[in-house]
Structure formats: C-alpha cells, structure tokens
Structure 1
Amino acid sequence: MFSRALLSIAVVSLSAPVLADTVWMKNGDRLTGTIKVFDGGKLLLDTKYGGAIALDWKEVKTLESDQQLLVKQGAYEGERAKSLQPAEAGKVILANGEAPKTVELASIEQILKPKPVVEDLVWKGRIDAALDYKRAEKDTDNYDIGFKTSARHGRWRHTADGEYNRDTQNDVTTNDNWNVEYSLDRFLTDQWFWQGRVDYTRDHIEDLERQRTVGTGPGYQFWDDELGAFSLGSLLNRTDYAYRDGGKDSFYSVAMKWDYNRYLIGKRFEFFTNGEVGKPLGSVADYSLDAELGVRYKVTEWASLNLKAERNVISGTEDSDLEKTRYTAGFGVNW
C-alpha cells in the first residue's frame, strides 16, 4: 500500500507542469521562461532555450506569471501583484487576492521583483581585476582593481566607484595610485537630474600627489534599462591640487561627464565608456581628461572578462603636462 502511494506521488510529480512565466506576442508567438525585469520599453525574459531575450513591449499581447512582482504604472509608485494573469490583447490582470485589477500594458512603466524593506530598490555593480606577474630578466608585478556600484530608489540614485593601480619592476614601483568617487543624483523628471559629487585621487609616484574635487550640476539620462544606459552631466567644480614639492593650486572649473554602456548579442558582450573632460576657470591648467573605454564578455551570469583602455591628461600645469595611458585585460564579477 505504501509503495503504491509513493508510486502515485512520483507519477503526479512527473506529470505536473513546470511552472514558468508566459508571454504571448502580437504575431502569435508564445514564449515561456522567467520574467526578470521590464524597463525602458524592453521585457527581459530568461529562457532555457535562448538565454536572456529582450522583447519589445509594444509587441507583447499579454503575459502570465506566478511570481510576486512590483508593477509600476507611474514613474515612482507601484503596486505589488501576487501574480499576473493573461487578459485580452494589450492588457494584463494584476491578481491581489479578492480584487484582481485589469490594466493596459501601455500604462505600465516598470515591472520589478520586489525587494525587502525598499521595494523598488534597483542595485547593480561590478568589480574588475587585472593581475600580471612576470618572472624573467626583469620581474614585473601589475595590479589593477576597480569597482562601480549604483543603487536607485524612487527619485534618488547613489553611485560609488573606485580604482587602485600599482606597477613594479625589479622591486621598483613605477605606478602607485588610487581614486574614489561618490555621486548623488536627484531626478527632477524621468530624464533630468541634479547631481552632487565628491572625487579624491592619491598618487604616490607622480608630481601631482593629491586631487580633490567637489562639484554639482544638472544631467540628462537618455535611457537606463536592461540593455544599457547613457547619461550626460555638466558640473561646476571646485578642485584642489597638491604637488609633491609642496606646491598647491585651487581653482574652479566647468566639466562634462558621460557614462555609456550597451549590451549586445543577447547580453553576452558589453561595450562601455565613461569619463570627464574639464576646463579650469583660470590659468592653473588648460584642460583635464579622465576617460575609460572597453568591452566585457559575460562568461556566466555573474562572471566576465574585460579589456580596457584608460587615458588621463592634465594639460598646462605649473610643471608640465601630466599624461598617462593604461591598457588592461582581466576578469570581473557583476550583480
């Protein structure tokens, strides 16, 4: 009797359908997988047969999900749905127990997995590392470790990034510096924001020993979704230089910042560039440039390989132009 019961349970388990989210397209296609996020006009569906697929929201007919999801019909307020149920073309039912609600797909701004405490918190980041050890006639050790992380909740976005570089040859250090930056953005509209930031750089080798910059100004977010982001910002900065010989400079400057990344080929490859170009309001320097350009290849959902080129220029300082170019290849983790 007991064996028959176990056999019945096994048969039911094997015959029961595997729960999955379903998306019906306007062209008649029916796709199954796991809904990851909807933002920026793209619905990201994670499938076993094709990986992560970005679907055009305008081509979605209706959808179904047994997940708890935060559905935002406005830019900053959302409704927590216990599940999504299919409806007529162009609509979906938000199931919340006794009072299901039918809404237009066109009215939905975002679909997110709710987070504990802060439901609409979106947190992402990465850590990249490049290490090179060479033992030959000339022993060399090269380290390059960097991180960037951002968290957005409602109208606020926090961003922090930093980097450490160190190169030695035959026990002689030829490059040793680190940099950290924190910025806080307040979104005034869906695209326009106001930014405040603090940046500090310490160099143990170059003549320019310390740099500290505090700035503020408006910015514009062209897009920010699962396939990438692009923003421009203009800043009025107060910068302080400290030189190795004891000299100091303080000045104001205007600057333009950019931050761009784009995923390609099913989010396997990522092209990215970010940086800042500034013009001092005085005779301390002609201009400054701090830029990064590179590509990443996702090996797994969390691991990646990267190639980067970095360029730092401060032209027209009290001693001479300061220029550095660095190329690295390494690995990283993403979340």
Structure 2
Amino acid sequence: MLSRSILYLALCATSTASFADTVWLKNGDRLTGTIRVFDGGKLVLETDYGGTIPLDWKKVATLESERELLIKQGDFEGERAKALKPAGPGKVILANGEEPKTVELASIDQIMKPKPFVEDLTWTGNVGVSLDYKRAEKDTDDYDIDFKTKARHGRWRHNASGEYNREFQNDVKTTDNWETEYALDRFITDKFFWQGRGEYKRDKIEDLSRQRTVGTGPGYQFWDDELGAFSLASLVNRSDYLFDDGEKESFYSLSVKWDYNRYLIGKTVEMFSTGEVGRPLDNTADYSLDAEVGLRYKLTDWASLNMKAEKDQVSGADGDIDETRYTVGFGVGW
C-alpha cells in the first residue's frame, strides 16, 4: 500500500509539472506556473508559491507551454500556437503541428490565451467605495458606492451597473442620488450583437428628480480578450423626465454607448471608460451626456485603488445640468 501511495503521488507530481508553463530567465533561474498574458514589456506568470508575478520581458531567455496561446507580432500579425517550446536564448518555438517556427522574443508584442466565443457561464465585476471627509470652514462628508458586473453564457451577455452618492456640507445634505442600469446583449455573430436596456435615475436634490429610459439597438464588439474589451452600441430610446416642480417630459432619442477597458503594465493598471451621448428626436433637449473615465491600480488579485472622473450633462429648454465629480477610493473585483 505504501509503494502504491508513493507511486500515485509521483504520478500526480509528474502530471502537474507537465501541464505547468516554464519560464527561463537570462540569469539561469527557472520559474513554473501559468502564463496569463504578456503585454507592455511584462510577462504575467501566476504561481502557487508567489501569487501573480510580473516578469521583465527583457530578462526572459525562453519559455515553454503546452497550452494554446495567441502570439501577436505587430498590430495585425498574429497566430495561435498549439504549444510553445524552448529555443536558444532570446528565442521560442511556436509549435503548430508539422511546421514549428522559431521566432525572436523581441518580435513578440503580446501573448494571451485565446478567448472562445461560446463558453460556460463567466461572471466578472467590481465594486468601488470612496469616502471624502473635509474639515474646514465648511465641513464636507462625501460617500460614493458603485458597482459594475457582467455575466456571459454562449451568445447572451448580461450587464448591470449602479451607483449611489450622498454628500453633506455642515450637516446639510447637498447631494443625494442613485442610478441603476441593466442591459441584455444577444450576439448575432462573433462581433455584432443586439442590445436591450433599461435605466433609472433618482435625484432628491436637483430639479431633474427622476429619469427613466428604455432602449434597443445594434452593437459591435471590437475586441474582448485577456487585456480588455471595447464595444459600441447605437440605440433608439424612450425617456421620461420628471422635474421637481411636477413638470414632465417624454421623448424619443438616438444615442451611442461605449464600454472600454484596457490593462497595462502586466495587468497591474486598468484604464476604463463607459458612457452615453444622445440627442432627442423632437428637440425637447439639445443633447445629454453621461460618462466616466478612470484608472484602477491593482494591489492584489482582488483589491485595487480607483480614481474616477464623472460627467453628467443635460441641455434642454427646462434648464441645464452640468456636473463633474472626481472620486478616489478602494475597490474589489472578481
């Protein structure tokens, strides 16, 4: 029984090692783990002994992987390698069946896992919290909580987001609003999709107290991979505005929505921007803009520091709204 147990453990160790990726450094060190991505001069290796390690690409001698990886050389040239085999210093072999190809590491711009179109349920998202306390001639307390999440299964994608903001100046409430949005995407091809969405905003301080919007229209996914995603959607909307004095407005509009994020510096920094710009069809308002742009700096695999700027602007016959907010806070992601 003891010999069988030892044999079983040896086979497990051999099997685990055979599926691990290996990176050889120019100083002679060898690291094993899982290659997640290479971009911006950093090779991200996930290990069970040191967590996620960003490696300087210039220090890498060669590497090996038995997994299929997408190798990009330049903005447009790229191929799927069935496996990577070690070669001489500064080189790697792209194994593609009967015609392996040796390339210089310096010629590679990106390495990432190919993302299949149809896959099991995947769920990603993040929650951010920012608090601002200022004690001066006017004491200010500002609280902001926001979340964004996506769930994808096959040709369906669910998108949900929300935000709550409250601010006090000398114990007087000066800001109190929240908003939430849900959108459902149905992919027609790998890139084109059709979106239906609903949005609700509530403001207890400003003149424009309630906004309800439903819309539908086509969209296009430019990319969605290990390094980020970018999509545009063109929508026809029905909006209902309720003002604090009881006045109401209902109108149809055309709008363009965008959703962008991009990881940099070995996936330690993330740039993101979401928003929508629209124009009513019956001239009840000139235009509306609701946008945000920011950065996330990853402290760990799940925690980050967030910096964000938000712009909410409406120009119409019943008055204008022009608000810009800047927040810094802490976030968690999955």
3-state SS of paired residue (1:148): strand
Q: How far has the Cα of 1:301 moved from its partner? A: 0.2
Percent identity, please: 63
Per the alignment, do residues 288 and 49 of structure 1 end up closer, same or farther by CA in structure 2, a change over 3 Å counting?
closer
Q: What does residue 22 of structure 1 align with?
A: 20
* CA RMSD, Structure 1 to Structure 2 (Å): 3.3
Q: Distance in 2 between matches of 1:59 and 1:197?
A: 36
CA deviation map 1:241-270 (0-9, x unaligned): 000000000000000001111000010001
Q: What is the Cα deviation at residue 33 of structure 1?
A: 1.1
Distance 1:52 1:224 in 2: 22
CA pair 130-175 structure 1, distance change in 2 beyond 3 A: same
Counterpart-to-counterpart distance in 2, 1:171 and 1:222: 47
Which residue does the alignment assign to 2:332?
Answer: 333
Gap runs ≥5 in structure 1: 38-42, 65-87, 93-107, 113-117
Aligned partner (choices 59, 67, 83) of residue 62 of structure 1: 83
Aligned pairs (5 A) from 1:156-167: 156-167=156-167
CA distance in 1, matches of 2:257, 2:125: 19
SS in 2 for 1:286: strand
Correspondence for 1:235:
235
Residue matched to 1:77: none
Task: Give the drift of 1:62.
Answer: 1.4
Hey, what's the Cα distance between the residues in 2 that align with 1:242 and 1:254?
Answer: 20
**C-alpha deviation, 1:226, in angstroms:** 1.5
Distance 2:44 2:257 in 1: 29
Mapping for residues 181-196 of structure 1, pairs under 5 Å? 181-196=181-196
Within 5 Å, give how 1:147-226 maps onto structure 2. Answer: 147-226=147-226
Q: Deviations over 1:139-187 (max 9, x none)?
A: 2110111000000000000000000011101111111100000000000
Q: Deviations over 1:78-98 (max 9, x none)?
A: xxxxxxxxxx93259xxxxxx
- Length, aligned pairs only: 274
Whether the 8 Å contact between 2:306 and 2:330 is mirrored in structure 1 is yes
Are the counterparts in 2 of residues 218 and 233 from structure 1 also a CA contact under 8 Å? Answer: yes
8 Å Cα contact 1:148/1:161 also seen in 2: yes
Counterpart in 1 of 2:308? 308
Q: State the shift of 1:31 in Å.
A: 7.0
Q: How many Å apart are 1:282 and its aligned residue?
A: 1.1
Q: How does 1:251-266 map to 2 (within 5 A)?
A: 251-266=251-266
Gaps of 5+ in 2: 24-29, 38-42, 58-68, 72-78, 86-93, 99-112
Name the residue aligned to 2:53: 51
Contact 2:44–2:266 (CA<8 Å) still a contact in 1?
no
Distance in 2 (CA, whole Å) between partners of 1:213 and 1:205 is 20
